[in-house]
Amino acid sequence: MGARAAAYGRERLRRGHIQHVDRGSLAFTDGTVAMAEDALVVHCAADGLKYPALLPVWDPEAIALQPIRAGLPCLGAAVTGYVDATRDSDAEKSRLCPPSPFPDTMATWARMNVLGTQAAMSFSAETDIKAWSGGVALNPARVAPGHPVSATLDDARERLAKHTKPGLARLAELAGTI
């Protein structure tokens, strides 16, 4: 046991894959190790994210929450809630908020960014959603009310507007070839 682990009353084991955890013991393929009855076992190798097939967020029976905005799950969830509250048609809601995958490869990272950026462009084209999201602190692209005029910010926004579509097209190509 390392000095740091001992100081916190923890012991680290490396004996391969755990087959089963019971109160007071860990079962490995080659035997069992005793542990305290009240020990906490943290399975750090477990899948943190699942990678299910993408479904429409809205269908007549349920809402299937999924990421809709690359890298900004909290903002995506807030936009999903806003769209759900302000639109009547499931088809319109799904058009505005198409799902994007969690990435687990370079190709799915590229796909997540393509789909998430397309979704952001879609819902940002709606006047009410753009106004609402411009006031939401979760939106890192918003300019806070009362922010001073800035030539640097204006320049950055112009460059982003100029390069987003060609960059997105190239990223879509890479998503199919990575």
Residue 127 confidence (pLDDT): 95
Mean pLDDT score of the chain: 84
Give yes or no for a contact between 143 and 153, defined as CB atoms under 8 angstroms apart. yes
60 or 145, greater pLDDT: 60
- The predicted model gives 102-123 an average pLDDT of 89
**Domain residue spans in the chain?**
1-46, 73-177
pLDDT score, position 80: 93
The strand pair at 25-28 and 18-22 is best described as: antiparallel
Half-sphere exposure of 50 (CA within 13 A, CB side): 5
Tokens of 89: 């048609």
Contact between 56 and 91 (Cβ < 8 Å):
no
Say yes or no to pLDDT of 5 above 50: no
Angle at 13 between CA 10 and CA 16, to 5 degrees: 155
Under a CB-based contact definition with an 8 Å cutoff, are residues 118 and 98 in contact? Answer: yes
Phi, psi of 54 (to 5 degrees): -75, 135
The phi, psi pair for 63, rounded to 5°, reads -110, 125
**pTM for the full predicted model:** 0.67
pLDDT of residue 8 exceeding 80, the answer is: no
Can you tell me the distance from the alpha carbon of 170 to that of 168, in angstroms, rounded to the nearest whole number? 5
pLDDT tens-place string over residues 58-107: 988 888 888 888 888 889 999 999 999 999 999 999 999 999 888 888 88
Q: What pLDDT does residue 73 have? A: 86
Average of per-residue pLDDT across 26-30: 84
Q: 64: which 2 tokens?
A: 């299937």
Contact 51, 102 (CB under 8 A): yes
In whole angstroms, give the CA distance from residue 100 to residue 55: 9
Helices (H), the chain: 3-7, 73-86, 90-96, 106-124, 127-134, 151-177
pLDDT tops 70 at residue 46: no
Tell me the mean pLDDT in the region 108-136: 90
